[in-house]
Amino acid sequence: MDRLVITSEYTEYVGLGDDIRWLQVLRPFITVKALNVLDELSYHVALALNEVTGERAAEVLPALELLCLQNWPAASVKKTRTQCQHRLLLVL
């Protein structure tokens, strides 16, 4: 799988994303090159990616080249971008 889109568009559940362990959810998607996160879920994914440090950064989405976080400030994912071992384009 090259592209992955995560959205809460099709659910009425309020607070979706609060109790999800995002790093565990993303870990199986090692071949994803483009990740697009929509709605308020972009907040949760950005926080999870910012928690990744050191060698763990290469384990979570190692092939990622494009990260799109809807309605999320660039400063919030600056740390994640600097930890990537390869070139990563952020679209916010």
**3-class SS string, 13-41:** CCCCCCCCCHHHHHCCCCCCCEEEECCCH
* pLDDT value of position 7: 87
pLDDT tens readout for residues 26-77: 999 999 999 999 888 888 888 888 888 777 777 888 898 888 888 776 555 5
- pTM for the model: 0.76
What are 85's two structure tokens?
């071992």
* pLDDT value of position 30: 92
* pLDDT value of position 36: 92
The ranges assigned to domains in the chain are 3-91
* pLDDT value of position 57: 72
